[in-house]
Amino acid sequence: MSYTVEIEDTYNHITFKTMQKAIAHIPDLKIRKWIDEDIQFLLWIMYWSGLRPSEAIFLKKEDFNLITRDIFLGKTKTKKGGDKAIIPVVFVNELDEWLKDKEPGRLFPELTYKPLYMWLKKLGRLLDISAWTTPKSESGEMTVCHAPRKSIGKNLIAGVHLKPNGKPYTIIDASKLLRHKSVAMTQDNYLKVTYEGLKTEY
C-alpha cells in the first residue's frame, strides 16, 4: 500500500520542484536594482518560513537568530505585540552563508510589494505557473505574493518535506508554521480541504 500523496501546481499551490525551477529563473527577469541572489533568497525565506510578503520585504539582518532558528518579525497582521517565524533545519546552513556578508539593516532596501508582485507575475507567464497567473477575480483569494506561504503548508501535509526524524508533518504542524490562530483557518482558508476534494485523493 502506498501512502505517497501526489500533488500538482494549482491556482493556489506551487510544488517544490516548480518553486526550485522558478527561483533558478530569477536572472531571466533582468532585475537591475536588486541582486538576483538576494531576490532568490527572499523567495526561499518566504517559502521555508511561511512568511507573508509584507513580513519578508522588510526583514533586517538582525532579525535572524540562526542559533535558535528564529526570525523576529515584530508587529504582524495577527500579533500586534510581535511575532517570530521558524527557520527549518534544512535551510539554516544555506541561509547562514548568504547572511554572513550582509551589512546590518534591511536586506532588501527600498523593496515594496509592487515590484515583487510584478516579478512573480512575469515568472508565472515565463514558466506557466498557475498560482502566479490566475487573477484574484477568478481565484477568489490572494495567490501571487502569498503563493510561497500557501505552498509550504500544502507541501508539508502532502509529505513533500519530512521531519528530521523521517516522520510526516501534520496539519497542526503546518498551522503552527503559518502562525494561524487555529487549525480550522489553515484547513479552510489555505489548504481548501473539502469533502469532494478529499474523495479525489482518498
Euclidean distance between CA atoms 42 and 23, whole angstroms: 10
For 7-58, the pLDDT digits (tens) are 789 888 999 999 999 999 999 999 999 999 999 999 999 999 999 999 999 9
In a domain, 7, yes or no: no
Q: What are the pLDDT digits (tens) for 114-154?
A: 999 999 999 999 999 999 999 888 888 888 999 999 999 98
Instruction: Kindly state whether residue 192 falls inside one of the protein's structural domains.
Output: yes
For residues 107-117, average pLDDT: 97
- Does residue 5 belong to any structural domain of this protein? no
CATH number of the domain that 29 lies in?
1.10.443.10
Does the pTM surpass 0.75? The reply is yes
Is residue 71 a part of any domain in this protein?
yes
Residue 9 falls inside a structural domain: no
- 3 located within any domain: no
Domain assignment of residue 32, yes or no: yes
- Can you give the residue range of the structural domain that contains 154? 16-199
Which pLDDT band holds residue 198 (cuts at 50, 70, 90)?
A: very low
Q: Is residue 1 situated within a structural domain?
A: no
**Structural domain count of the chain:** 1
> Cell numbers of 139, please?
481565484
Question: What is the rounded distance in angstroms from the CA atom of residue 189 to the CA atom of residue 150?
Answer: 10
CA distance 53 to 108: 12
